[in-house]
Structure 1
Amino acid sequence: MTKKRILITNDDGIHAPGIKHLWNSLKNDYEVTVVAPHQEQSGVGVSVTIRHPLQLNRLHWNGIQAYSVTGTPADCVKLALNVILDERPHLIVSGINRGTNSGRNVLYSGTCGGVIEGTMRDIPGIAFSLSDYQDPKFESIERFIPPFLEFVFNKPLPPQTFLNVNFPSVIEGAPKGFKFARQGKEYWGESLDARNHPTEGHTYYWIGARKVQFEENEESDVSWLNKGYVAAVPVNVGDLTENNHLRTHKDLFEKHFECLNF
């Protein structure tokens, strides 16, 4: 039987440990191609590079097709689909990210940005993240990766949808369980550190990170992660319209501008 084609990317960079553990978990059962940023691109979301050219380099990496791109995860997917691959992948898999991408961090996440680029082209995706940031034990979750792909292939995601999977911080043996969840509200807010340039004299800023927390729905990924469960959220990026507001305010909006007589 022909193996399904998998494109792997990430935002921690081609040399990050997480992507190698992700590849290791899938290499035997799928036809895998790795295309990832040449250096860390955390927090870039689904941004693309338009101000300078991109370089694509083929690497001798674990005996498979692997490429580094001097750009973002979304850039990597664009080049993979238009330059590298002869056939579309059946699935785009991103990660394993160092640190959580639960809650509204999907909007910042380059890990999610890579798979979002695919979903806009009707290629489903899965983004994997491990909550531990300082000392992530990626090897401890390798064996849990393949069942997610099996589920998605057996129960296909809706159009323009990806699965956002987050593992809790500490997994000893096995997690408490696996929950199909809704996206939470938590996100990484700013913690600004103002400094003075020693020779130029102007002020500059480091944007640090702090969690902005909310009262969460009990079925949210944030809530389940805090309880030690793996949380998977189907995230749809197809229709970004707030349909209720559109429906109830459409006539009022259009009449408002009709009265202005431009």
Structure 2
Amino acid sequence: MTQTNKKPLILITNDDGVNAKGIAALYEMVKDFGEIYMIAPNRANSGKSNSITVEVPIRIKKIRDEENLKVYSCKGTPVDCVKLALNKIVPRQPDFVVSGINHGTNTSVSVLYSGTMGATVEGCLAGIPSVGFSLDSFESRADFSQSIKFGRKIFENVVKNGLPKNICLNVNFPLGDIKGVRVCRQADGVWKEDFDQRKDPFGGDYYWLGGQFKNAEPYAKDTDEAAIKNGYASIVPTKVDMTAHEVLENFKTWDYEVVD
């Protein structure tokens, strides 16, 4: 009987683009755990959440081919990258999907907008243990050394223990020295948008999206926002089922009879 000892297959992606420093750091974090397929957008795709490309063809280009590392640039969203990888690129179902390391946190409600977490959720939907990693810095040359060290230990736990069905992990790192890791909940907050209105050379209006995050519970100690602000890495187990199970019975009591 022939035995095969295949290395785990790890699909990595991001939303900052295939040339971002964060995805290079992510590769350093997980490279010793298996064979790596890196399939990432050809340019920044922040804020794309779970969006997919349907109006134009998706193009992909292999840019690196080495032992245990294949790198592709995809002209699509982070979720496009995962979908295309699973359907056309990787030789078998990946054992893990990891996304990031994002330049900027994806704490609280930002998880809903994040392309990093959109790709993570897509891997989760495919039944693959999936983790999204983010760093509290938007700097293109940010120091990821602490993130790599702590992220490697977090990923080692995922390899060892697996993840429950339909659960992925949203991991955020503070900038600088990390005191430790906290498993916590998503903070209650909201983005307050501020659109900067400008005029183009022809007199037409155009807008730049800006804004600030407002933490609705700044004194809570058990949230991802609190962990990051106090120098800890945060881990939020994240569900793909968005059903509000706790209020299902309440809505069943409503009167739904339609009277002509």
Give the TM-score normalised by structure 2: 0.92
Residue 29 of structure 1, CA deviation: 2.7
Give the drift of 1:2.
3.4
Quick one: which of 75, 81, 91 aligns to 2:80? 75
Q: Is the CA contact (8 Å cut-off) linking 1:14 and 1:36 kept in structure 2?
A: yes
CA distance in 2 between partners of 1:32 and 1:189 (Å) = 39
- Structure 2 partner of 1:180: 183
Q: Is the 8 A contact 2:39 2:82 kept in 1?
A: yes
| Contact 1:7–1:32 under 8 Å retained in 2 | yes
**Superposed, which structure 2 residues align to 1:89-104 within 5 Å?**
89-104=94-109
Give the corresponding residue for 1:40. Answer: 44
Choose the corresponding residue for 1:60, options 64, 87, 92: 64
Residue aligned with 1:52, SS: coil
Greater alpha carbon shift after TM alignment, 185-194 vs 124-133: 185-194
**Residues 188 and 30 of structure 1, relative CA distance in 2, 3 Å threshold:** farther
Compared with structure 1, are the counterparts of its residues 9 and 236 closer, same or farther at alpha carbon in structure 2 (3 Å cutoff)? same
The reply on whether 1:229 has 2:235 as its aligned counterpart is no
Give the CA deviation at 1:129: 0.5
Counterparts of 1:1-262 in structure 2, within 5 Å, are 2-60=6-64, 64-134=69-139, 135-171=141-177, 175-199=178-202, 201-216=203-218, 217-237=220-240, 239-252=241-254, 255-256=255-256, 258-261=257-260
Q: Which runs of 4+ in 1 moved over 6 A?
A: none
Structure 1: give runs of 5+ residues left out of the alignment.
none
- Per mean C-alpha deviation after superposition, the further-off stretch among 38-47 and 178-187 is 178-187
Q: Aligned equivalents of 2:65 and 2:195: distance in 1? A: 38
Partner secondary structure for residue 27 of structure 1: helix
Stretch moving more, 140-149 or 158-167: 140-149
The amino acid across from 2:208 in the alignment is: W
Q: Secondary structure at the match of 1:225?
A: helix
Aligned length: 253
Asked whether the 8 Å contact 2:125–2:166 carries over to 1, the reply is: yes
| Identical counterparts, % of pairs | 38
**Contact 1:11/1:72 (<8 A) preserved:** yes
Task: Compute the displacement of 1:62 (Å).
Answer: 6.7
Q: In the aligned structure 2, how far is the partner of 1:12 from the partner of 1:107?
A: 16
C-alpha distance in 2, partners of 1:61/1:143? 26
**Normalization by structure 1: what TM-score?**
0.91
Paired amino acid for 2:131: I
Distance 1:51 1:213, change over 3 A: same
Instruction: Let me know the Cα RMSD of the aligned residues.
Output: 1.6
Give, as a single letter, the amino acid of the residue that structure 2 aligns with 1:68: S
Deviations 1:180-236 (A, max 9, x none): 11111234432210001221x121110013122211432111111111111111001
Deviation at 1:66, TM superposition (A): 0.8
Q: Is the Cα–Cα contact under 8 Å of residues 49 and 71 in structure 1 kept in the other structure? A: yes
> Aligned partners of 2:253 and 2:216: how far apart in 1?
34
Secondary structure of 2:253's aligned partner = helix
1:157 alignment partner AA: L
Distance 2:66 2:215 in 1: 40
Unaligned 5+ segments in structure 2 are none
